[in-house]
Amino acid sequence: MPSCCDIAMTSILSLPDGDDEAELGILTFADLELKEHVPFPAKNHLKAELDAHARKKYVYAKKKAFALFVKAKEVAADACCPVSACQGALSWKCCQQSFKDLTSIHRHVATQHSGEMGQQTCMILKQMAGNGNITTPPLSGNEILRPSKALGQDQEIEAGQVLLYYCYCEVADPEGLCAWQKALCQHLRLTGKVSIAAFCPQASEGINGTVGGSKAATGLYMNAMLSHPLFKRTLRRDDFKTSKGGAHCFPDLRIGVFEEIVPMGINPNEVSYKESGIHLTPKEFHVEVEKYLSQGNNAQADTLLLDCRNFYESKIGHFQGCLAPDIRKFSYFPTYVDENLHLFRGKRVLMYCTGGIRCERGSAYLMSKGVCKGVYHLKGGIHKYLEEFPDGFYRGKLFVFDERYSISSNGDVISVNGYVSWRATLRKEPNGRKCRCLWQELLMAETARRSLPIFGSG
């Protein structure tokens, strides 16, 4: 079975007839310095296996194999600190070495990986010749990877949208998948953040993404993801959450490999998404919440409605009657559970979050404590619930981690103790002061919350 990197190359390099550079429309790598002395396997040996048309593509295929290999080794200069990643210049990692410039990584790949380059070049050439046994490409070279043709100017200036999705699955080649995502997003002119998690081969988590662009671009992105061999059996079109927005909702494109696709701070080997609670559809969740609220005295009920998000998220919107933990980030959730086991003991717990991803491992952690009667969570999160029940039991705005700050489906505005929306503050302040201003607003909200009981009637 080909690796993700192989799949990336076969999908990106599915070439039609015609002029090489003009027809490809993907990964031009103008700064690639591929010297003729790069020790690929003998040119004549490869050519002997190819027809006349494919022979003409040899030099181009060799450069592309080399370029994609280098691309797969690309990391942010400060990738060791994920919080501030993507702020600095690029660097490359290969064979447990770091390279700060293209010349050094090119030299390393040329001298240390010539065999792999030869194999990948041969694979590309055979695909081009139609003689190789290659997995069907996850992308259409004609439709998806030619942004100048697939995405006309009219489509790019139309009202766009933001996609939110995740897929827990085994990722054998995270760096290859990372390179494929970068190529795809860049050529569809998408912005946003995509996290690929691979703690170790035994605890690979999958992918978590939020991207924005035109509707045409995001539609092509969904098609590419759904047809990729890694996701086509586990990811469905309904798993993508959409909302109004576009590329302007994010400052840039950030794609990287991390230990967790959503940071809970616990080894995925210890708490796995495979041990999560029971999924409830938005309709099933709505019925459960309706039953819960009809019981009157929520404190005496055998059911508990739990918001898995941070306090500044639940501050501006939440389900009526929920328990909203006073936590600043999701990595504090396990500690909150440990310190409040009495709240969950003997209860049926209904959990929810923005898009569903935090509930996957959050519910697994809660279940591992063995105190609950049952743990259930909202599939697709608040996003999917609001699509079906815009005027349901969720009131207020939905916090989102991009330049929109929040989205809403009903007219409710939730405010407690004169809390001032941090969203407005951030928009007024220079970018350099965002973090400090946000922290000040969070402290204000936290102070207000400490004088209040947990959310009751909403």
Measured distance CA(37)–CA(413) in Å, rounded: 66
Which residue in 308, 353, 359, 372 is the catalytic one?
Answer: 353
Beta-strand runs (E) in 285-437:
303-307, 317-319, 348-352, 374-378, 394-399, 406-408
**Residue 362 amino acid letter:** G
How many Cβ atoms sit within 10 Å of the Cβ of residue 193? Answer: 18
Measured distance CA(445)–CA(315) in Å, rounded: 8
Tokens of 17: 């007839």
Active-site residue flag, 353 = yes
Cα distance from N-terminal residue to C-terminal residue, the chain: 53
Tokens of 404: 């929109």
Helix (H) or strand (E) holding 213: strand 204-213
What is the distance of C-alpha 328 from the center of its chain?
21
| Residue 4 falls in which region: left (phi positive, over 0), alpha (psi -120 to 50) or beta | alpha
Give which of 374, 372, 297, 375 is closest to 340, Cα–Cα: 372
Measured distance CA(246)–CA(229) in Å, rounded: 27
Residue pair 293/362 in contact (Cβ under 8 Å)? The answer is no
| Sequence-distant (≥ 6) Cβ neighbours of residue 237 within 8 angstroms | 222, 226
- List the 303-307 sheet strands across, edge first: 278-280, 374-378, 348-352, 303-307
Polymer length of the chain: 458
Specify the residue for token string 């709240």. 343
Residue pair 217/185 in contact (Cβ under 8 Å)? The answer is no
Q: Rounded to whole angstroms, what are the CA distances from 217 to 38, 159, 331? A: 37, 11, 33
β-bridge pairing 317-319 and 394-399: antiparallel
Helix (H) or strand (E) holding 150: helix 147-150
Catalytic positions are 353
